[in-house]
Structure 1
Amino acid sequence: MAAAIAGHLRGLVRFFRDVMGEDAYRKYQAHHTASGCSGPPMTEREFWKEKMDRQDHNPGGRCC
C-alpha cells in the first residue's frame, strides 16, 4: 500500500515538473543529440538564458 502511494506521489511530482518546464534542458539535450547537430550543445545556463530571452521577445499567451 505504501509503495503504491509513493509511486503515485512520484508520478505527481514528475507531472508538475513537466508542466513547469523543469525537464526542458534534458529534452533539448536529447533533441540535440538525436538531430545530429554538428556544434556542441548549449550549456544549461546558456539554454535557460536563451529561453527566457525568447519568451521576453515573443510573450505569446503567457498570463504575466
Structure 2
Amino acid sequence: MGGAVRSVLWWITSVMGDHDYARYVEYLRTHDPDADVPTERAFWRARYRQQDTNPGARCC
C-alpha cells in the first residue's frame, strides 16, 4: 500500500509543478554547464511573470 500512496503523491506533485525547478536545473547543467543557475525563488518569479504576460499559457 505504501508504494501506491507514494505513486499517487508523486503524480499529484508532478501535476502541480513541484518537480519543475529540479528538472530545469538538471537541464541547465546538461545543456549549458557554464550558465548561472537561478535560485528556486527567482525561477518561480520568472515563471509566474511569464504567465502574467501570456495568460493563454496557463491552464486555468
With the length of structure 2 as denominator, give the TM-score of the two structures. 0.89
- Which position in structure 2 is the counterpart of 1:62? 59
* Structure 1 length-normalised TM: 0.84
Corresponding residue of 1:50: 46
For structure 2, which runs of at least 5 residues remain unmatched after alignment?
A: none
**What number of residue pairs does the alignment pair up?**
59
Structure 2 CA distance for aligned equivalents of residues 37 and 53 of structure 1 = 25
Could you say which residue in structure 2 is the equivalent of 1:28? 24
Q: Where do 5+ consecutive residues of structure 1 fail to align?
A: none
Question: What is the percent sequence identity of the aligned residues?
Answer: 31
Which entry has the higher C-alpha Rg, 1 or 2? 1
Task: State the secondary structure of the residue aligned to 1:38.
Answer: coil
The structure whose RCO (Cα within 8 Å, separation 6+) is larger is: 1
Moved over 4 A (4+): none
